[in-house]
């Protein structure tokens, strides 16, 4: 593993990263997260909140990509005469990602990479 992936001092040990990648692949963690995000709009009531706790950058990226699509509303063909402000958002971001405090990390080192994201379903149906 070390020959294939030289160790970078900023990152975790290569064995830790490798087993994390295997776990993510076997459990289909990213696919499950994508399914939850895509189905959440139909499950939540208007103003309902979706609370997401992530532990690594791959999960963060899935959420950011999902929000980019919903924040940009519907992508319309270039020549279609509809302005984006007439299209409605699916979700509103309640707050920026919440990270653990220094006290929390010192008492619980595993929390250091956790981020809490809170989304709220838009009040009206999505166009």
Burial class (CB in 10 A: 0-12, 13-18, 19+), 91: buried
User: So what's the pLDDT on residue 70?
Assistant: 61
Per-residue pLDDT of the chain (127 residues; tens, 9 = 90+): 777 777 666 667 778 888 888 999 999 999 999 999 888 888 999 899 999 999 988 999 998 888 776 655 455 555 555 555 545 578 888 888 999 999 999 999 989 989 999 999 887 655 4
User: So what's the pLDDT on residue 68?
Assistant: 74
User: So what's the pLDDT on residue 26?
Assistant: 95
- The arrangement of secondary structure in 29-121, i.e. its CATH architecture, is 3-Layer(aba) Sandwich (3.40)
Angle, CA 98 vertex, CA 9 and CA 57 arms, to 5°: 40
Q: How many CB atoms lie within 10 A of CB 70?
A: 20
User: So what's the pLDDT on residue 81?
Assistant: 55
Per residue, what are the HEC states of the chain? Answer: CCCCCCCCCCCCCHHHHHHHHHHHHHHCHHHHHHHHHHHHHHHCCCCCEEEEEECCHHHHHHHHHHHHHHHCCCCCCCCCCCCHHHCCCCEEEEEEEECCCHHHHHHCHHHHHCEEEEEEECCCCCC
Q: Would the pTM count as exceeding 0.85?
A: no
Spell out the domain ranges in the chain: 29-121
User: So what's the pLDDT on residue 88?
Assistant: 58
User: So what's the pLDDT on residue 82?
Assistant: 52
Q: Which residue has the tokens 């490798």?
A: 18
Strands 49-54 and 91-98: unpaired
């Amino acid at each position: 593993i070390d020959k294939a992936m030289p160790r970078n001092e900023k990152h975790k040990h290569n064995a830790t990263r490798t087993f994390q990648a295997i776990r993510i692949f076997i459990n289909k963690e990213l696919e499950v997260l994508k399914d939850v995000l895509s189905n959440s709009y139909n499950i939540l009531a208007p103003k309902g909140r979706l609370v997401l706790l992530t532990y690594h950058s791959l999960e963060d990226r899935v959420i950011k990509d999902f929000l980019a699509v919903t924040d940009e509303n519907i992508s319309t063909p270039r020549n279609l005469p509809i302005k984006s402000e007439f299209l409605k958002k699916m979700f509103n971001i309640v707050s920026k990602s919440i990270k653990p405090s220094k006290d929390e990390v010192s008492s619980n080192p595993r929390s250091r990479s956790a981020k809490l994201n809170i989304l709220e379903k838009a009040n009206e149906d999505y166009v």
